[in-house]
Every structure is written in structure tokens, then in C-alpha cells.
Amino acid sequence: MDDQKKTILVIDDDENLLMATRDLLENWGYRVYTHKRGFGSTAAIDLVKPDLVLLDINMPGLPGDRLAGLIKTFEATKRVPIVFYSSNDEDALREAVSVHKVRGYIPKGDIYELRQKVRQYLNCNCA
């Protein structure tokens, strides 16, 4: 990784998973911020200016798939790379990625895949 730490914002309503994910990502050398609900996420993104957003789909009030669309409507946040980070099955995740035009997905629960895919998405120069 380059000298400047990459910044990741993790948005998830499960506080235990949020903290565990934060700890893992920080141990791997990333600067990590967390946000515990969909509401207020666009302001958090604008404030943090992350290199990547890991976004849970299954959140009460404002689900991540709807939030992804909202993020893309604001000038300050529309170019932020979003990756769904969810326990949904992979077929549903692939469909959600296609419908909501986010960068990709990472299934929850596989630490190796989390590490590999975060690296992949941060090094991707895709639009």
C-alpha cells in the first residue's frame, strides 16, 4: 500500500460487526470510520471523504440499497466508490450490484475475502 493510508467508511447497523470490521481494517493499515445507520450517511461521507464505502444492505429505516442510490444523487458524494458488505446470498448481492450500479460486493463472514476484495476495490481505477 502507498504511504498515504486509504480511508474506508463502514456503514452498518450491527454495532458488534461494525467494531469487528473496523478493528480488522485498521490492523491491515487502513484509516477507518464507522456510521451506525443509513440516516446521516451522506453527511458522514461528505465529512470523511472516504476512498471506499462498505455499505450493509439490511438496515432498518433506510436500507443500504436505497442509500446507495441516494449517495449518487448528491454532488459531494456521487463519485465515492460503494461496495455492498452484506450477509445476503451472493445471487442477491450480484443482483443488487447490477441494479444499483455500485462497485461490487463483499459477503460478510469471510475475513480472507474481505481483505482481498478491499485491496482489489481500493486499487481499481474503474469508474
The Cα–Cα gap between 44 and 34 comes to 9
For domain 7-123, the CATH superfamily is Response regulator (3.40.50.2300)
Phi, psi (deg, nearest 5) at residue 85: -125, 100
Q: What share of the chain in percent tops pLDDT 90? A: 62
The predicted model gives 48-59 an average pLDDT of: 94
- By DSSP bridging, strand 52-55 and strand 7-11 are parallel
* Domain ranges across the chain: 7-123
Q: Cα Rg for the chain, rounded, in angstroms?
A: 13
Whether the Cβ atoms of residue 52 and residue 30 lie closer than 8 Å to each other: no
pLDDT in tens, 5-16: 899 999 999 999
> For residue 102, what is its C-alpha cell?
455500485
Residue 125 is predicted with a pLDDT of 54
pTM of the model: 0.90
